[in-house]
Amino acid sequence: MDHHIPMHALPEEIQKMLPEEKVCKYCGVSYLILHEFKAMEEKVKAMEKEMKFYQGSVDREKRLQEKLHSLSQELEQYKIDNKSKTERLSMFFFSIIYLVERQLQEINTL
């Protein structure tokens, strides 16, 4: 539905009329129903656009929460792996130091 732009403005005397004066006293339908209908269409379009924005926000929030959770789990696993590798490297270096010290002792005893 396209945005309705009236070709001619309503006469000033109609614009100044009270809402009760613009309505059929028999059926209650506004004499300016088309104008009001178009105004309501615009309001509905704006609300639909806003709803799409918020719906997209909810979906994005859910995806981001899932990604954050996944990354947090990965980080924890990396921390565990890092600690394990650090311990193994420490043991390896201590072993090397021990072997070097033994060789130095053997050389000194010769």
Q: Within a domain: residue 28? A: yes
Separation of alpha carbons 73 and 69, rounded Å: 6
Name residue 4's amino acid. Answer: H
Q: Within a domain: residue 16? A: yes
The count of domains in the chain is 1
Separation of alpha carbons 103 and 74, rounded Å: 43
Q: Within a domain: residue 94? A: no
Give 71-83 pLDDT, tens digit per residue.
999 999 999 999 9
Q: Within a domain: residue 2? A: no
Q: Within a domain: residue 110? A: no
Q: Within a domain: residue 62? A: yes
Domain ranges, residue 24: 12-82
Burial zone of 83 (CB within 10 Å; 0-12 exposed, 13-18 middle, 19+ buried) = exposed
Q: Within a domain: residue 1? A: no
Query: In this structure, are residues 38 and 44 in contact, taking their beta carbons and an 8 Å threshold?
Result: no
Q: Is the pLDDT of residue 15 over 60?
A: yes
Of residues 22 and 85, more confidently modeled: 85
Which pLDDT does position 4 carry in this prediction? 61
| CB contact set of 6 (below 8 Å; sequence gap of 6+) | 35
Give 21-79 pLDDT, tens digit per residue.
877 777 777 766 767 778 888 999 999 999 988 888 888 999 999 999 999 999 999 99
